[in-house]
């Protein structure tokens, strides 16, 4: 190990290093808090000036990150944030937690990683370690990130360490915090792997070392592709069960009683969140370089992407059964977050549902207790505010569409006052009177 990396190793062992986190969103901010709780000083980087101002004021913009705790670290001088990327040479360890979206053609959009890498390369110094956490295709770290960083004139694995460790955030999960989830780590060489593992062990309970950055990158894709394929399976079975007059939720409950060989997945209105709708296509794109068709992955993507269209068709059929047209009907969409009890709208199928309903001529409203105003999204810019769920509001709607089954909803109250409900989440299961008003979708 070179003298520069030996010095970094000693800093990590003494927990006297400065951590830099690039991208203070749903991955970067929880990671920052995890290390702050272990008395490690963190300097955050983000291009969003509004976020920087809120953080300096000790205010969290993510629901499950407590403002009180964050404010305490700011007041102690343990946490600060900046939009000045010339300061990237200050931290000893840099975590890259920037978005990796898809283009409109479902190709990897690497601009955020590339821009970040160029910013680091301008000020990179010997003795630093760079770790990419953003989900991406196998080969990104060594094929894209490494050459850009070496434009600094320093050699990766010698002057500075370079590794990949996929984020495993699950916003709103009460059972697993960032510190509890095992961390997969792979470096470009043995020294980088070991340094990255030692770094994560200062704040996380379990670290899993793998042989390469490519293995670590592929592990994250496998996790999300596994979920995507199985969700597509139950979504397809849901459509078949509707046609056959079978309750798919009852079938899943029955199958779940098997103590081996079965894992329950649940249907819905489509995929949401930053991972499952996007990550599988990073692998399909890379696989094309090897003349390898990823049939399961692409088919799962097709099935899941089609679900909002199926749900809207169910809404149309439900309204038709009441002798109403969707054109001109008042539809209230319940839930804009991509999953229950979070304020995260990234890639939520609710936006597609809203768009499709409007295209059909419906007058669409929404309610989400966690998202009072719809934020601008990458593909959507909707100026809507959450509608109050008063009894008269529910009664005035021609149809309610449940897209996200938040725990905050009083489903009995909703059922009592609504006339027609299309339910994609089985939220009204077991409630008396649901059979007369609720249509499964």
Give the tens place of pLDDT for each residue, 392-423: 999 999 999 999 999 999 999 999 999 999 99
Among 174-188, 256-270, 281-295, 367-381, the least confident range? 367-381
Using CA atoms, how far apart are residues 420 and 430, in angstroms rounded to an integer?
17
User: Cβ distance 213 to 164 under 8 Å?
Assistant: yes
- Please say if 275 is a catalytic residue: yes
Q: Using 50, 70 and 90 to split pLDDT, how confident is the model at 158?
A: very high
For tokens 């909002």, the residue is 308
Residue 355 confidence (pLDDT): 95
Q: Which residue has the higher pLDDT, 121 or 175?
A: 121
Q: Return residue ranges of the chain for CATH 3.40.50.720.
A: 3-211, 227-440
Homologous superfamily of the 3-211 domain (CATH): NAD(P)-binding Rossmann-like Domain (3.40.50.720)
Q: What is the pLDDT of residues 11-38, one digit of tens each?
A: 999 999 999 999 999 899 999 999 999 9
* Distance in angstroms (rounded) separating the CA atoms of residues 326 and 312: 10
148 vs 420: CA distance, rounded Å: 56
On the question of pLDDT at 299 being above 90, the answer is: yes
Q: Measuring CA to CA, how many Å separate 207 from each of 1, 41, 131, 138, 165? A: 21, 21, 14, 20, 10
- Predicted confidence at residue 278, as pLDDT, reads 84
pLDDT in the model for residue 107: 84
Q: What phi and psi, each to the nearest 5 degrees, are found at residue 92?
A: -85, -30
Q: Is the dihedral of CA 329, 305, 98, 183 positive or negative?
A: positive
Distance of CA 238 to CAs 23, 298, 310, 417, 435, Å?
38, 19, 11, 27, 18
Task: Write the CATH number of the domain with boundaries 227-440.
Answer: 3.40.50.720
Confidence check: pLDDT of 124 > 90: yes
Q: Which residue in the list 97, 241, 275, 399 is annotated as catalytic?
A: 275
Query: Residue 314 — pLDDT band, cuts 50, 70, 90?
Result: very high
**What rounded mean pLDDT belongs to the chain?**
94
């Amino acid at each position: 190990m070179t003298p520069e990396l030996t010095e970094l190793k000693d800093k990590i062992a003494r927990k006297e290093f400065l951590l830099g986190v690039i991208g203070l969103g749903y991955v970067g901010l929880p990671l920052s808090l995890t290390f702050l709780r272990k008395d490690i000083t963190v300097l955050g980087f983000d291009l969003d000036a509004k976020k920087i101002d809120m953080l300096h004021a000790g205010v969290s913009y993510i629901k499950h990150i407590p403002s009180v705790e964050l404010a305490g670290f700011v007041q102690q001088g343990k946490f600060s944030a900046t939009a000045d990327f010339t300061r990237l040479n200050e931290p000893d360890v840099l975590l890259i937690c920037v978005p990796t979206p898809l283009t409109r053609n479902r190709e990897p959009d690497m601009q955020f990683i590339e821009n970040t890498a160029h910013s680091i390369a301008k000020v990179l110094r010997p003795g630093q370690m760079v770790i990419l956490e953003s989900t991406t295709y196998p080969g990104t770290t060594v094929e894209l990130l490494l050459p850009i960083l070496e434009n600094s004139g320093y050699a990766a694995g010698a002057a500075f360490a370079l590794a990949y460790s996929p984020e495993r955030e699950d916003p709103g999960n009460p059972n697993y915090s960032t510190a509890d989830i095992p961390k997969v780590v792979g470096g470009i060489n043995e020294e980088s792997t070991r340094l990255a593992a030692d770094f994560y062990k200062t704040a996380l309970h379990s670290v899993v070392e793998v042989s390469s950055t490519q293995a670590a990158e592929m592990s994250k894709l496998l996790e999300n592709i596994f979920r995507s394929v199985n969700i597509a399976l139950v979504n397809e079975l849901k459509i078949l069960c509707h046609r056959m007059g079978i309750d798919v939720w009852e079938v899943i409950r029955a199958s779940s009683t098997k103590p081996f060989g079965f894992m329950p997945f649940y249907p819905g209105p489509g995929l949401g969140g930053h991972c499952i709708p996007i990550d599988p296509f990073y692998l399909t794109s890379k696989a094309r370089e090897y003349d390898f068709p990823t049939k399961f992955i692409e088919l799962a993507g097709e099935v899941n992407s089609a679900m909002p269209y199926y749900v809207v068709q169910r809404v149309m059929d439900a309204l038709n059964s009441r002798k109403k047209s969707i054109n001109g009907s008042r539809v209230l969409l319940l839930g804009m977050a991509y999953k229950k009890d979070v304020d995260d709208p990234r890639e939520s199928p609710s936006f597609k549902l809203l768009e499709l309903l409007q295209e059909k001529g419906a007058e669409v409203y929404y309610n989400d207790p966690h998202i009072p105003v719809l934020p601008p999204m990458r593909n959507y810019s909707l100026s809507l505010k959450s509608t109050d769920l008063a009894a008269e509001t529910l009664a005035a709607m021609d149809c309610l569409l449940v897209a996200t089954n938040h725990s905050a909803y009083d489903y009995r109250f909703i059922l009592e006052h609504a006339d027609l409900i299309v339910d994609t989440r089985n939220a009204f299961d077991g409630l008396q009177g649901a059979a007369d008003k609720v249509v499964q979708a």
